[in-house]
């Protein structure tokens, strides 16, 4: 970037997208600060596993200089996928070939640590929950944080996920409930404590559905498995049943009734989990989601194009981050860089969002997908 004064770039959100953007900017000699509401990198569990695809997520990691480190951490065996019927019979079984690296799995926490460790010390400012953005459209912008502090920036990048505060500057859109909800269950020390479930899931994932209910279980690193019970339900289905999210026994009894016709083998994913369930209703942004160009604010990842969890979210976020960072490195002004980035990102995300619009329902379908090896994560 050929400017008389280096632009002040503020990235909101220390997820994979925000961290990837900061890392690639730093590799090109451009400073950026990342602000995150969490108190630190270990403030909460980062979630399950995800696959990074050769045609998007891995492209970003290559530009970040981290692809080989990623392959050392990733689990290519996690590309295994089994499609079952509710009776537990295998309908489809994909076993990755030796050397197959199109979309190996990595735990979210491992990916985040890889990115965090690659950044210059002090890049991420923890404990900074964004409350508002003020200042003229042409900049500079002023960021107002919950602790009362403020920061000026020449570019604000919203990498702050589904409920983005940065999005409000550009768009009135808010995520809408898809009508489908996940209930997450955890299994620890599976080879020793849950051998039947470990055998059922294999090294990758196993999915089943009957048209109204679905189930997806996936191997994580460290001898863990996460399962997702998928239902077409109101967003408040737990409280509507007179239960609370902490009422593990009550929720389990309700689920056993709803999945009563499923095989005992699959019902172990309801009865044998370690600890409480985690309610994860599926939201998505309206399609298409676009905005008028703004020279000092832009979005990437879920903040820009929240979609159902069908294997594209983190990959698109990291590709967005890569293209924005490279644009800032290659253009003379921030405005030119943001404009070029959005000209590519918005059509791509709109096309993908149209493909996945309402696709949360597909997770309940009994029809085998065109590629049954595609996961639901």
Indicate the annotated binding residues for FAD: 51, 108, 302
Binding residues: 44, 51, 108, 302
Question: How is residue 250 written in tokens?
Answer: 């009550």
Identify whether the C-beta of residue 307 lies closer than 8 Å to the C-beta of residue 376: no
Distance CA 228, CA 185 (A): 6
Question: How is residue 278 written in tokens?
Answer: 């985690």
Q: What Å distances lie between residue 250 and 117, 185, 247, 274, 276, CA to CA? A: 42, 14, 5, 15, 11
Identify whether the C-beta of residue 75 lies closer than 8 Å to the C-beta of residue 198: no
Return the sign of the alpha-carbon dihedral for residues 253, 259, 263, 267.
Answer: negative
Identify whether the C-beta of residue 218 lies closer than 8 Å to the C-beta of residue 204: yes
Binding residues for NADPH: 44
The owner of tokens 């409920």 is 163
Strand partners, 182: 230, 280
Phi, psi for residue 288 in degrees, rounded to 5: -80, 155
DSSP character at residue 360: G
Alpha helices (H) along 120-279: 167-170, 190-193, 195-201, 237-240, 248-258, 264-271
Question: How is residue 361 written in tokens?
Answer: 């329902």
Strand partners, 73: none
Closest CA to 60 of 22, 4, 86: 22
> What radius of gyration do the chain's Cα atoms show?
21
């Amino acid at each position: 970037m050929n400017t008389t004064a280096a632009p002040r770039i503020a990235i909101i959100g220390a997820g994979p997208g925000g961290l990837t953007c900061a890392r690639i900017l730093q590799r090109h000699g451009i400073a950026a600060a990342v602000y995150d509401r969490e108190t630190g990198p270990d403030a909460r569990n980062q979630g399950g596993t995800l696959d990074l695809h050769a045609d998007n997520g891995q492209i970003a990691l290559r530009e970040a200089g981290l692809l080989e480190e990623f392959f050392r951490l990733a689990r290519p065996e996690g590309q295994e996928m089994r499609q079952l019927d509710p009776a537990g019979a295998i309908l489809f079984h994909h076993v990755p070939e030796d050397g197959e690296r199109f979309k190996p799995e990595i735990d979210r926490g491992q990916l985040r640590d890889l990115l965090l460790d690659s950044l210059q010390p002090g890049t991420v400012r923890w404990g900074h929950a964004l409350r508002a953005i003020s200042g003229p459209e042409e900049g500079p912008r002023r960021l107002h944080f919950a602790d009362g502090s403020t920061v000026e920036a020449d570019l604000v990048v919203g990498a702050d996920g589904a409920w983005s505060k940065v999005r409000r500057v550009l768009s009135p859109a808010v995520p809408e409930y898809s009508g489908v909800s996940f209930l997450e269950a955890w299994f620890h020390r599976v080879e020793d404590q849950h051998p039947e479930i470990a055998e059922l899931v294999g090294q990758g994932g196993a999915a089943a559905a009957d048209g109204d209910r679905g189930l997806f279980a996936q191997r994580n690193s460290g001898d863990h498995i996460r399962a997702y019970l998928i239902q077409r339900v109101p967003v408040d289905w737990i409280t509507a049943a007179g239960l609370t999210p902490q009422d593990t026994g009550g929720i389990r009894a309700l689920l056993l009734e709803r999945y009563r016709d499923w095989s005992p083998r699959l019902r172990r994913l309801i009865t044998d989990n370690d600890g409480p369930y985690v309610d994860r209703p599926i939201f998505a942004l309206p399609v298409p989601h676009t905005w008028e160009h703004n020279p000092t604010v832009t979005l990437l990842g879920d903040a820009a194009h929240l979609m159902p969890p069908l294997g594209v979210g983190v990959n698109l976020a990291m590709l967005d981050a890569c293209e924005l960072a490279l644009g800032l490195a290659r253009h003379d002004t921030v405005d030119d860089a943001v404009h070029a980035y959005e000209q590519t990102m918005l059509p791509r995300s709109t096309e993908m969002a149209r493909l996945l619009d309402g696709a949360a329902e597909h997770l309940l379908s009994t029809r085998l997908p065109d590629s049954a090896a595609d996961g639901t994560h």
